[in-house]
Amino acid sequence: MAGTLDLFEHEPGPPEPIAEGAYLLRGFATDISTQLLNDLQHIAEAAPFRHQVTPGGYSMSVAMTSCGELGWVTDKRGYRYSPVDPQSNQPWPALPESFEQLAIDAAATAGYPQFSAQSCLINRYETGARMALHQDKDEQDLTAPIVSVSLGAPISFLFGGPTRSHQPARVKIEHGDVLVWGGPSRLFFHGVAPLGKRADHPLTGPVRYNLTFRKVL
Ligand code: MD3
Ligand code: FE
């Protein structure tokens, strides 16, 4: 029956393996998404979104802030993790309980029961914002997985392989989807295609947020 399956399209599905050690948990965060967005607004009041500058001198199209013990920062001096927000010289806002528990639950569901997050980078994509293909290797502990939670407007995620020459696959990621990257996939190249002009979501409007949870040290 045509309409029946639609009722379930945003229900959580089983972990879908998408690369060695990587799993897509469709809709895993949908139930708590209003709580997550509410907590996110409070973080952004204390530590506002900003467009950071890369070591090469380019302003990033994605606006960022952080919460937790450590935040990811970039400036002319390079990429690193910092215990303080360089804009305020104050510690980053604490990880809200909703964020912390979601990261633990998602990692455990994907087979990583020991995970706990020291850092949550919050990325905000507005129309045209994108993230070029890169590896996440600013963390000392590369054995821990990374948990990524998408909220708001849909986007195409690009995931490649262990080398830049590997042709990336394109996967549409929607509100509530959670990705867990561990094992061999932890160092795979990945990126995000530009947020489309028509991308929209009832809870965020034409904006996508991504929460990236990491163990750093
Ligand atoms: C695949 N953010 O902040 S998170 C980043 O949607 C970043 O904002 C993207 O990449 C975003 O560094 C994607 C998903 C992600 C994170 C780490 C990975 C995918 C990954 C590590 C290895 C492979
Ligand atoms: Fe990344």
Domain containing 135 — which CATH number? Answer: 2.60.120.590
Cβ(210) – ligand 1 distance below 6 Å: yes
Q: How far apart are CA 171 and CA 191, in angstroms?
A: 11
Distance from Cα 4 to the centre of ligand 1, integer Å: 33
Q: Decide if pLDDT at 150 tops 80.
A: yes
Q: What pLDDT does 14 receive?
A: 82
The mean per-residue pLDDT over the stretch 39-51 comes to: 98
The mean per-residue pLDDT over the stretch 71-100 comes to: 98
Q: How far apart are CA 126 and CA 121, in angstroms?
A: 16
Cβ(123) – ligand 1 distance below 6 Å: yes
Whether the predicted model's global pTM rises above the 0.85 cut? yes
Cβ(63) – ligand 1 distance below 6 Å: no
pLDDT band at 164 (very low <50, low <70, confident <90, very high): very high
For residue 173, the surrounding DSSP H or E stretch is strand 169-173
Cβ(67) – ligand 1 distance below 6 Å: no
Q: How far apart are CA 134 and CA 188, in angstroms?
A: 8
Ligand whose nearest atom lies closest to the CA of 190: 1
Residue 11 lies in domain: 2-214
Total number of domains constituting the chain: 1
pLDDT band at 12 (very low <50, low <70, confident <90, very high): confident
Q: How far apart are CA 39 and CA 92, in angstroms?
A: 14
